[in-house]
Amino acid sequence: MSFARPFLLAALLLWTGDLVAQVRSVATSDVFSRYADRVVKIQVVETGSAAKATIGSGFFVSGSGHLITNYHVISKLIHDPDRYRAELIDVAGAVEPVEVLGVDVVHDLAVLGSALRPRAHFALGSVRIAQGNRLYSLGHPEDLGLSIVEGTYNGLLPHTRHPRIHFTGSLNPGMSGGPTIAEDGRVVGINVATAGNQLSFLVPVDRAETLLDGVLTPGDEPPARTLEEVGRQLRDHQDAYLRDMFAGNTKMVDLGPYRLVTEPAPFFRCWADASRRQELPYEKVQHHCSTDDYLFIAGDQSTGVIDVEHEMISTKKLNASQFFSLYSSVFANDNTPGGQEEHVTSWACGTRNVRNASLPMRAVLCLRRYRKLGELYDGVLKVAVLGREDSGLVSTLTMSGVTFENVDRLARRYLERISWR
Amino acid sequence: MALILEVVHPGGGRSWHRLGDAPVTVGRGLANDLILDDPYVDARHARIALDDSGAPLIEDLGSVNGLIADQARVSGRVALRPGAEVRVGRTMLRFRDSDEPVSPAIADVSFVLAPAPPVVKPAVMLSRRARLRTTIAQTARTTWGRLAVVGAAASSIALYSWLGSSERSSASEALYAALAFAATVAIWAGIWAVASRVSVQRFHFIGHMAVASLVTLGGLAWTMAAEWLSFFFPDASLADVLSVGIGLFMLAALVAGHLALASGFSRTRQWRTGFAVAGAALLIGGLATLAEEDAFTDVPTFSGVVKPVGSDWLPTASVEEFSGVMATLKEQVDEMAKQ
C-alpha cells in the first residue's frame, strides 16, 4: 500500500558499489580532516545482551556535548527505555553514554546530551545555497568507519509534506543522523534517507536548529522525550494538515460515471492507469493518490500515510451475476497496511450499506489502534458503489497513524463526496 | 395346502403359526392358544375356527378394540383366505398359503451376520401429503431417481460456477466445475459403497452418490442464501450463526443418509450417529476458533459481498449512522489495546 516503503527498501537493497567516498578534489580530504572529529557514531545497545540494536551517526552542535541525530536512530530507546541504552563513539574510539533531550518525530530529528566536551562543534544556522553546489556528507555507512561522501545540492523536494533536501550523493544505512556540510563547514542538512542510485535526502538544518533551541532554552512546551510526547507531536502535526482535507474545495476527478476526490493536498501525488486486456471480459481503471513521505515510528512500522485509491471496473460482456461476483472479489481484496503485534492491535471491521445524498454504496471501515502511541489509529475505509449492473467502483481511503476524530471526520467527508458524475 | 398365520407384533417382530382344524384362541391372557403381548388386545380377544362348511374364519369375542379388516372395524366374523389381513389391537395377523414361494437365500461372503430386513409397517390411512412423501421416497429408491439427483447437483454446480465466472471461457469453466464435482462425489460414494458391501452385502453406489449430491445441493442453496443475507443485513451475525447450524445439520444429514444405505441402523440411530459426528465437528471447530480468537492478525475480515440490487428497496444507513458504527469499532480496538 505504502509507496514509501518500497522506496526505503530500495535504499537498503540496491546499494552495492561506490561505498567509499569519491576522492575527486583535494578539498574533500581537507574537509574530512577538518571536520571529522565533530562526527560520532551513535549506537543503541540492548541492555541485557549488550548487543548493538541500531547504528547511526550524529554530530556535536555545542561545546557542552549536545548532539544532533535522527529520531529513527534512537527510536528504540524512546519505545523501550528500560530495554535499551544509547552511547556515542567518537573519532578516537572513546565510548560515552548519551541521553535523549528532545525529539522531533515529524522531521525525524533528535537532540542528545553527553558528558563529553568536544574540542570543536558545528554551529547551526540557516544557509542559502544554490542548486548544483558541492556538499559533503559525513557518517558511518554500514558501521564501516567514518566516511565522507561528496555530492550535489539539488534543492528541496517539491512534493513532500515536510521539507526534504534532495542530495545527489550516496548515503547508506548507518549514515543517518550525520551532517551534510558545505566546503566551509556550514551544516546544510541532516542525512535521513535514500532511494538508491545517488538519490538521497536530508532534513534542512533549520529544523535541527529549532529543535536545539527548544532543548537549550525550553519555553512553555519543551521538546518531546517520551513516547507519550511523541504521540502528542504526531497528533498536533496531523490535526493541522488534516483539518480541511476532503472539505468543500477538494479537487474532484471523473472516472466513468463516478465523481471522486483526488489530490487531497498539494503534497499528494496521483497516478492513473487503465488495463484493457483482450483476454479479459472487463476493463479496470485505477486512480491512486498518496504522499511520498511518511513518519518513521519504530522497527518497520511507519505512519502518517494518507492514501486514496479508486478502482473502476466495467464490462460489456459479463451478465449482472458474473459481474457482481467479480466486483465482490475486487471489493474483498485486502489492501490494508501490514503491522506487528508489538505495535498495533488486530483490525476490527464494520460493514453497512450506506446512502449519501447521491448514491447507495457498501461501506466497510477497518480500524486498529497503536498500542504504545496513545490515541493513534490506522483506519481503512473501503467503499463499493451500488446501483449499476455493468460498472462498479471500489474506493479505498487509508489513514495511518491518525486520531479517531480524524478517522471519523475524513471517512464521513469521503463518503459524502462520492457521487454520480 | 395349509393356512399359515403370520403375526406381526407391535415392536416389528414376526412369528408364524401353522393353523390346523382345532380352534385357536387369541388374546393377552395366558390361557389362550396364541398369546399376544399388546396392551390394546383383550384378555380373550378373538377365536380362529372353521365354520360349518369347514372354511376358516376369525370371530370377535366381544373385545374393546374389535377386529380391523380392510381399514375398517368389523363386527362378528371375518372369513379367512390366503392374503387376508386382520388387525387385533396393534398386532397384525396375516394369513398366508404354506405353498407361497420365498426368494433364494443371499450368499453370505462376509460371514458377518446380516441385520434383519426392515420391518413392514401395517398399512394406515395416508393423507395426500403423506402419499406425496411416499411417492418421493419410492422415486428416490429407483436408480433413475437417484441419478436425477446427481444430475441436478452437477448442473447446479455448473450454473453456480458460470454465474460467478468473470473469465472469457465461462462455459468451459462451468463444465470443468461439474466434472470436478462428479469425480469427487464418485470417489466419495465409492468409499461408502465398499463399506456398504461389507456390512449389508450391497454396494448402493448410485444411492451414495445421490446422498452426497443431495447434501451438496442443500449446501449450495445455503451458500447463495447466506450471500444475500449478508448483503442485505451486513451488521447482523444472523447469517454466521445460521451457517454454523445449517452446516452441522448438513453434515448430520450426510452421515445419516449414507448410514441408511450402508447399515442396518434404525432411522433414529442413523440420525443420532449423524448428529454425534456433527457435534464432534462443532467441538473441534469451536476449540480451534477459541484458540485463534485472540491471536493477532494484520489481515482484516469483513463481508465484501456486493449484489446487483436496485437501490430502492435496499436497506441503507446514513453517513451519520455509519459514524456510529465507527464509534463502536473504536471501543473494540481500545479494548484490544488495553490487553
Domain containing A391 — which CATH number?
A: 3.40.1000
Q: For residues A156 and A171, give the distance between their C-alpha atoms in angstroms, rounded to a whole number.
A: 17
- Would you give the DSSP letter of residue A141? G
Q: pLDDT > 90: what percent of chain B?
A: 43
Report the alpha-carbon distance of residue B153 to residue B146 in Å, rounded. Answer: 11
Q: Is residue A273 part of a domain?
A: yes
A312 and A403 inside one domain = yes
Q: Are residues A187 and A239 in the same domain?
A: no
Q: Which bin fits B153, alpha (ψ -120 to 50), beta or left (φ > 0)?
A: alpha
Q: Do A198 and A277 sit in the same domain of this protein?
A: no
Are residue A67 and residue A198 in the same domain, yes or no? yes
Asked if B165's CB is within 8 angstroms of A322's CB, the reply is yes
CA pair distance A389, A282, nearest whole angstrom: 13
Say if residue A305 is in the same domain as residue A182: no
Whether A106 and A127 map to the same domain: the answer is yes
Size of interface A-B (CB pairs under 8 A): 173
Interface touch A322/B163, C-beta < 8 Å? yes
- Residue A297's Cβ-side half-sphere holds a number of Cα atoms within 13 Å equal to 26
pTM over 0.80, yes/no: no
Q: Are the CB atoms for B157 and B183 separated by under 8 Å?
A: no
Which of B34, B52, B40 lies closest to B95 in space, CA to CA? B34
Q: Within this chain, do residues A372 and A302 fall inside the same structural domain, yes or no?
A: yes
Q: Is A19 domain-assigned?
A: no
Q: Do B168 and A280 make contact, defined as CB atoms within 8 angstroms?
A: yes
Decide which of A225, A243, A265 is a domain's last residue. A225
Interface confidence, given as ipTM, is: 0.78
For B338, which residue in chain A has the nearest alpha carbon? A371
A216 within a domain of the structure (yes/no): yes
Residue whose grid cell is 472479489: A329
Same domain, residue pair A184 and A277: no
Instruction: From residue A137, give the alpha-carbon distance in Å to each of A43, A185, A189, A294, B264.
Output: 19, 11, 9, 23, 87
Is A26 contained in some domain?
no
CB contact under 8 A, A353 and B330: no
Does A126 reside within a domain?
yes
Residue % of chain A over a pLDDT of 90: 54
Cβ separation of A331 and B304 shorter than 8 Å? Answer: yes
Domain end, chosen from A170, A194, A225, is at A225
Q: Is B316 in contact with A355 (CB distance < 8 Å)?
A: yes
Does residue A10 fall inside a structural domain?
no
Give residue A278's domain range.
234-420
At A91, the amino acid letter reads V
Counted residue by residue, chain A has a size of 421
Write out chain B residues lying below 8 Å of A380, CB-based: 300
For residues A326 and B291, is the Cβ–Cβ distance under 8 A?
no
Q: Is residue B106 pLDDT above 80, yes or no? A: no
pLDDT bucket at A6, cuts 50 / 70 / 90: very low
A17 found inside a domain = no
CATH number of the domain to which A49 belongs:
2.40.10.120
Domain count, chain A: 2
From residue B122, give the alpha-carbon distance in Å to each of B6, B90, B92, B132, B169.
13, 9, 7, 18, 57
Q: Put residue A179 in one of left, alpha, beta given phi > 0 → left and psi -120 to 50 → alpha.
A: beta
CA distance A103 to A174: 19
Instruction: Please name the residues between 131 and 190 in chain B that touch chain A, using a CB distance below 8 Å.
Output: 162-168, 170
Find chain A residues with C-beta within 8 A of B300's C-beta: 334, 336, 347, 349, 366, 380
State yes or no: pLDDT of A18 exceeds 50: no
Confidence of residue A16 (pLDDT cuts 50, 70, 90): very low
Tell me, yes or no, if B235 comes closer than 8 A to chain A by beta carbon: yes
- Across the interface, do A345 and B337 touch by the CB < 8 Å criterion? yes
Q: Note the pLDDT tens digit of each residue in A392-416.
A: 999 999 998 889 999 999 999 999 9
Contacts of B297 in chain A (CB under 8 A): 346-347
User: How many whole angstroms separate alpha carbon A117 and alpha carbon A50?
Assistant: 25
Distance, in angstroms, between B271 CA and closest chain A CA?
36
Q: How far apart are CA B36 and CA B43, in angstroms?
A: 9
Nearest to A327 among B306, B323, B332 (CB): B306
CA A219 – CA A208 distance, rounded (Å): 17
- CA-to-CA distance for A234 and A245, rounded, in angstroms? 17
pLDDT of the residue at B118: 56
A78 with A156, same domain: the answer is yes
Residues 64-103 of B with CB under 8 A from A: none
End position of a domain, from candidates A225, A250, A279: A225
- DSSP-derived letter for residue B149 is H
DSSP one-letter code for A297: E
Which of B228, B306, B311 should be substituted to probe chain A, the one whose Cβ sees the most A Cβ atoms within 10 Å? Answer: B306
Whether A50 and A171 map to the same domain: the answer is yes
Q: Are residues A130 and A239 in the same domain?
A: no
Same domain assignment for residues A186 and A256: no
Confidence of residue A300 (pLDDT cuts 50, 70, 90): low
Residue A204 inside a domain? The answer is yes
